[in-house]
C-alpha cells in the first residue's frame, strides 16, 4: 500500500505544548479535553517527521534494520549495533550498523561498523570489552572492544552445503569507532549444521572464563574460552524442551537475583521464528541454573518475555552499570517485516527495558519495564486522581498528542477496555477480561492493516494468570507506529506495531462493570531527534 500526500501533514502536528484542561463531568459519559495553547512547531530534521517514523524509539536514519547486536556499555557509552542493509528497505546482505547513547534514550548514529567480506555476510552476535587483554589483541592500558558474530556464506548456502554459517571475530582499538577483522577467522567452525549462529559472549565471574552461547537449529550450545579466540564446546540444551515451532535464534544468558530474596537464578533467552503465541516471531525464556558449562532447568511450561506480536531477537547489555540487566528487542515480526508501509527506512527497536525476576504463586516470572531514564521524556502531564466508572459508563479523552504519549493508571482488578481512535474511525482496542484472566490487543481496525494478511487478521489474546493483585497498574506507551503495554510493572508486556491513517486523538476508557481508576496520568513524550 502506498502513501498519499494527504497523510503526511497529520504526522507533522507533534510539538511542544502548554496544556489547558477543560473537563465536563457527566453522570454516564465523562468527556475530558486536553488542548494546547501553543502554536504547532515542526522539526528541522524532516526525515524524522516521515509518516510512522518513531519519535522516541531508535530507528535507522534510512534503509533496513533488524536484530540488535553487540550491545555493550563502556566508559559511559551504551553501544548499539544492529543488523543493517544500507542499500534498500528490505533485507539484504547484512552489515552491522552502529549507534551510541549516554542515557539509552537519545541516540547518535555512527558509521557502519562491520561489512561483509569473503567469508560471508555479518549476521547477529555480541560485543565485549577485553579489560585484561586475554585475547592479546590490545593492551591493558588500551583494552580492545571485541565483536563475535556469525558469518553467513550465501554462496555456500546456494551450493547446498550445510556448514555455511561460522563464527567470526572483529576488534576495535578506538572504543568502537573503527573495526578490524581477526586474521584467523572463523574462530568457531561448523561441523555441518544448517543453522549455527548468533553467539552471545560474556565474562563469567563465577568461573573466570569467557562463555559463549549460540544456537544450532533446534537447541542451544555452550562454549568456554580463556582468550575469546580458542573455544571449547561444553554442552547443549533444549532439544526436547520449550517452544519448537520454528528455528531457534539470538540466545542470551545472564544471572538475576529474585526480588525480595537472596536467591539467584540464571535466565536463558531464546528467540524463535515462527512459533510465537500470536504468530510469527517471539522470544521465550527459561529459568534455571548454569555452572559455566551446562544449563539445567525444571521448567515445564513455555514462557514468553513479551506477548505482543512485535518484540523479537532481543538481547541484553554486557557491562551495564550497577549490574542492571537492560534489554532491547527488534520491534517487528518476520511475518510482515518486509511489508510494513514505510518509505525510506524500515523497523525500529523497542524501548530499552530493565529485566528483573520475581516469584509469583511459587513460579519464576521475568519482568520487563522501560528503563528509569524514560520517565524524563514525559512532559506537561495531565493528571486525575480518581475516576469512578459505573457499569457501561465511558470516559473519553480528546488529546491531539495521543500518538506520542504515555498513559498510566491504577484500576480495580475488574474488566477494563481502552479504545484509541481518530476522526477517520481507525480504532485500536485493548481489553482486560478479569474473569477469563486474559488481555487482548485488537489492531484489526487500527489503520493500515492490509499490507500483509496476518498483520490485521485476528485479535491477539493472552492468558495472564500471574495478575493476582486486587488492583492493576497499567502503563501504555504510544509512538507514531507502535504501542507498548506493561501490566503490574512488567509482569506481562505487549508490543505491537500500528499504522493509523491519521494520529489517534481520542482515548476511551470503559467497563461493563463498576470500575475505579486512580492516579491517571497522560503525558506527551518528547521526541529524541
Return the active site residues.
67
SS3 assignment, position 229: coil
| Of 370, 242, 255, the residue nearest 311 (C-alpha) | 370
The label of the residue with cell 561441523 reads 191
Number of C-alpha atoms within 13 angstroms, CB side, residue 423? 7
SS3 assignment, position 13: coil
Strand partners, 358: 365
- Cell numbers that stand for 193 in this block: 549444521
- Cell numbers that stand for 466 in this block: 500471574
Q: In angstroms, rounded to a whole number, what is the distance separating the alpha carbons of residues 6 and 13?
A: 13
Q: In angstroms, rounded to a whole number, what is the distance separating the alpha carbons of residues 71 and 353?
A: 13
State the greatest distance between any 2 C-alpha atoms of the chain, in Å, as a whole number.
75
Q: In angstroms, rounded to a whole number, what is the distance separating the alpha carbons of residues 83 and 64?
A: 8
Cα-based angle 70, 76, 82 (whole degrees, multiple of 5): 20
Extended beta strands in 132-204, E state: 144-152, 165-172, 180-181, 196-204
Q: In angstroms, rounded to a whole number, what is the distance separating the alpha carbons of residues 236 and 361?
A: 30
Strand partners, 357: 258, 366
Alpha carbon 358 to its chain centroid, in Å, reads 20
| Of 200, 464, 145, 173, the residue nearest 314 (C-alpha) | 200
Alpha carbon 316 to its chain centroid, in Å, reads 10
Amino acid at each position: 500500500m502506498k502513501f498519499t500526500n494527504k497523510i503526511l501533514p497529520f504526522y507533522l502536528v507533534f510539538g511542544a505544548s502548554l496544556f489547558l484542561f477543560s473537563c465536563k463531568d457527566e453522570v454516564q459519559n465523562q468527556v475530558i479535553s486536553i488542548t494546547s495553547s501553543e502554536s504547532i512547531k515542526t522539526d528541522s530534521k524532516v526525515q524524522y517527521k516521515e509518516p510512522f517514523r518513531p519519535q522516541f524509539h531508535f530507528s535507522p536514519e534510512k534503509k533496513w534494520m533488524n536484530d540488535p547486536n553487540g550491545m555493550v556499555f563502556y566508559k559511559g557509552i551504551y553501544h548499539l549495533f544492529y543488523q543493517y542493509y544500507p542499500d534498500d528497505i528490505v533485507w539484504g546482505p547484512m552489515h552491522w550498523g552502529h549507534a551510541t547513547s549516554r542515557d539509552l534514550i537519545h541516540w547518535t548514529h555512527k558509521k557502519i561498523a562491520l561489512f561483509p567480506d569473503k567469508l560471508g555476510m555479518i549476521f547477529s552476535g555480541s560485543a565485549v570489552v577485553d579489560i585484561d587483554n586475554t585475547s592479546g589483541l590490545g593492551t591493558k592500558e588500551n583494552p580492545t572492544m571485541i565483536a563475535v558474530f556469525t558469518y553467513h556464506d550465501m554462496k555456500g548456502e546456494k551450493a547446498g552445503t550445510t556448514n555455511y554459517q561460522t563464527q567470526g571475530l572483529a576488534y576495535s582499538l578506538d572504543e568502537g569507532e573503527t573495526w578490524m577483522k581477526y586474521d584467523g577467522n572463523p574462530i568457531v567452525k561448523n561441523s555441518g549444521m544448517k543453522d549455527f549462529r548468533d553467539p552471545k559472549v560474556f565474562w563469567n565471574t563465577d568461573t573466570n572464563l569467557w562463555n559463549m552461547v549460540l544456537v544450532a537449529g533446534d537447541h542451544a550450545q555452550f562454549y568456554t574460552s580463556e582468550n575469546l579466540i580458542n573455544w571449547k564446546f561444553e554442552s547443549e540444551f533444549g532439544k526436547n524442551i520449550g517452544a519448537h515451532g520454528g528455528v531457534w535464534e539470538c540466545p542470551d544468558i545472564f544471572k538475576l537475583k529474585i526480588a525480595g530474596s537472596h536467591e539467584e537464578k540464571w535466565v536463558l533467552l531464546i528467540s524463535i521464528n515462527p512459533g510465537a503465541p500470536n504468530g510469527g516471531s517471539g522470544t521465550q525464556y527459561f529459568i534455571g541454573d548454569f555452572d559455566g558449562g551446562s544449563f539445567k532447568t525444571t521448567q515445564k511450561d513455555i514462557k514468553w518475555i513479551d506477548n505482543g506480536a512485535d518484540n523479537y531477537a532481543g538481547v541484553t547489555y554486557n557491562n551495564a552499570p550497577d549490574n542492571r540487566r537492560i534489554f532491547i528487542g527488534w520491534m517487528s515480526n518476520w511475518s510482515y517485516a518486509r511489508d510494513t508501509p514505510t518509505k525510506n527506512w524500515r523497523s525500529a527497536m523497542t524501548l530499552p527495558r530493565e529485566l528483573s525476576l520475581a516469584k509469583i504463586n511459587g513460579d519464576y516470572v521475568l519482568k520487563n519495564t522501560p528503563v528509569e531514564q524514560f520517565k524524563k521524556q514525559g512532559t506537561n502531564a495531565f493528571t486525575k486522581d480518581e475516576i469512578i466508572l459505573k457499569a457501561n459508563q465511558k470516559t473519553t479523552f480528546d488529546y491531539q498528542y495521543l500518538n506520542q504519549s504515555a498513559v498510566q493508571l491504577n484500576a480495580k482488578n475488574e474488566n477494563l477496555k481502552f479504545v484509541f481512535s481518530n476522526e477517520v474511525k481507525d480504532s485500536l482496542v485493548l481489553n482486560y477480561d478479569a474473569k477469563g484472566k486474559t488481555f487482548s490487543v485488537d489492531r484489526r481496525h487500527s489503520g493500515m492493516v492490509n499490507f500483509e494478511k496476518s498483520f490485521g487478521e485476528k485479535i491477539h489474546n493472552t492468558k495472564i494468570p500471574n495478575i493476582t493483585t486486587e488492583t492493576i497498574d497499567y502503563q501504555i506507551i504510544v509512538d507514531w507506529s507502535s504501542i507498548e503495554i506493561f501490566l503490574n510493572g512488567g509482569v506481562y508486556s505487549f508490543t505491537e506495531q500500528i499504522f493509523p491513517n491519521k494520529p489517534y486523538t481520542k482515548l476511551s476508557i470503559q467497563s461493563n462493570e463498576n470500575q475505579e481508576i486512580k492516579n491517571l496520568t497522560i503525558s506527551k513524550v518528547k521526541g529524541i531527534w
